[in-house]
Structure 1
Amino acid sequence: MKTYALTLDLKNDEKLIDEYERYHKAVWPEIKQSILDSGIIDMHIYRLGTRLFMTMQVEDHFSFAYKATMDAKNPKIQEWEELMWTYQQALPQAKPGEKWLLMKEIFKL
């Protein structure tokens, strides 16, 4: 099992942030199933202000490339991602089209 940490920002608008959190209290079943089908065992998203922090525990065979391929073929995932982009904004160092950015682990106890 591996753990990944990713980060992303939300738009600085309290109404949008509240809506974003409401969506994540009732994530669509197709989204949850896709997450599990990709090899993600557990996922947590935390928020401080507009900054999001996500941890993912994944099976050894998990691949970001495979998940991206799966997601591109799934209309419900595409609908969700388009909706979420209403609330999200890329970090300054993100390349065009990038959303969640992988964080580098710098300490482990």
Structure 2
Amino acid sequence: MQRYCLALDLKNDPVLIEKYKAYHAQGGVWPEILESIKSAGITDMQIFCTGNRLFMIMEVSASFDSTQKAKADAENPKVQEWETLMDQFQLPLPWAKEGQKWVPMDQIFGLKN
């Protein structure tokens, strides 16, 4: 099993941050989005928030292919609708590439390493 850790900022607006959290609370994420995540081989996904900074841990199966996931998402109207909705809350990190939302993080410490 492989783990990905990613970061993204939210717009620094307490009202927007609370709305974003509500969309991601239990029962808030659309079923079609959950299905697109699971069908891509993502076995677990957790998002943490501090202030307006988000941190995502994503565990994936051996079958996971990020390029294939991006292609499937681009072709899925419901995923695109969700992404457009989330755009009103999200703010790319200053060092993100053009069009990039979630930025992969590099592990710099591991107790077991």
* TM-score using structure 2 length: 0.94
The range that moved more, 33-42 or 61-70, is 61-70
- Structure 1 residue 95: deviation in Å? 1.3
Q: Which amino acid in the other structure matches residue 72 of structure 1?
A: A
1:18-97 equivalences in 2 (<5 Å):
18-25=18-25, 26-97=28-99
How far off its partner does 1:106 sit? 1.6
State how far apart, in whole Å, the 2-side matches of 1:56 and 1:19 are: 22
1:1-21 deviation per Cα after TM superposition (whole angstroms, max 9, x unaligned): 100000000000001001000
Question: 1:81 and 1:104 mapped to 2: Cα distance?
Answer: 25
Aligned to 2:104: 102
Q: Runs of 5+ in structure 1 lacking a partner?
A: none
Gaps of 5+ in 2: none
> Which residue is equivalent to 1:4?
4
The CA RMSD measured in Å over matched residues stands at: 0.6
Number of positions where the alignment pairs a residue of Structure 1 with one of Structure 2? 109
**TM-score computed with the length of structure 1 as normaliser:** 0.98
Identity of aligned residues (%): 53
DSSP 3-state at the match of 1:47: strand
Q: C-alpha distance in 1, partners of 2:82/2:10? A: 15
Match for 1:89: what amino acid? L
Query: What residue in structure 2 maps to residue 16 of structure 1?
Result: 16
Off by >4 Å, runs of 4+ in structure 1: none
Tell me, in whole angstroms, the C-alpha distance in 1 between the residues paired with 2:88 and 2:40. Answer: 24
